[in-house]
Homo-oligomer: A and B are copies of this chain.
């Protein structure tokens, strides 16, 4: 893990009493970003939240990621994210790009999205991304300013489910309900046991609501909450973000 840049974010948000430290890094060929709370909170190692995101590239997702990072820092959390395979500045991945084109074509034609398209889009991504997030976790937890426990938040829900199953260092997760979930992931969902907080946008254009509810039902955790709010995919209300933040504070601090 090599840090490639470093900056203090400004302190315009009233909740922050000092600047969050943002550091870009590379982990082999994978770019990533680490945010740690300002100096007042940095006396002890901070618990960590891994920030998942859809595979649209870190640069495009940066404004939303940094907002989540600042909110988490105000609660005393470090946050980190890495680029997904085939996204952003990473080498293109023709097979997944083909599946994405097939998906777009089916949706534009108003056709149902077949299981084969979903499998081709999501399963290789999960298989490749999850070990990368685990490698990032190894590197992050070796830093003196980062402690446990670890949470995972958002992004591609199938990645969150696989991580929750295979990575014992993750103690709690906030997931964003999605319907582009391979059938095989439902079986993995039953194996999840960590506390979960699932956000569902009731009017999400790109999601089949019933499929999202079925996936919530399949999750094996004894503590799981579904928070559904009106609005489209990116319209998660502020108060719903605050509830998710409190979930992490309850479980990770």
Please report A residues at the B interface, Cβ cutoff 8 Å.
200, 202, 213, 216-217, 221-230, 237, 239-240, 243, 246-247, 250
Contacts and interface: CB of A to CB of B under 8 A. Distances in A.
A227 B230 contact: no
A239 B200 CA distance: 19
Contact of A229 (B202, B213, B217, B225): B225
Contacts of A228: 216, 225-226, 228
Contacts of A250: 239
A146 B213 CA distance: 41
16 contacts: A200-B226, A202-B226, A213-B213, A222-B230, A223-B230, A224-B230, A225-B228, A225-B230, A225-B239, A225-B240, A226-B227, A226-B228, A226-B229, A227-B227, A239-B247, A243-B243
A23 to B, nearest CB: 33
A116 to B, nearest CB: 29
Contacts of A202: 217, 226
Given A221-B230, A226-B226, 6 more contacts: A200-B226, A202-B217, A202-B226, A225-B227, A225-B237, A243-B243
Q: Nearest 8 A-B pairs (CB), nearest first?
A: A226-B228, A225-B229, A227-B227, A224-B230, A243-B243, A239-B250, A225-B227, A222-B230
A66 B226 CA distance: 27
Nearest to A230: B224
Contacts of A222: 230
A200 B202 CA distance: 15
Contacts of A237: 223, 225
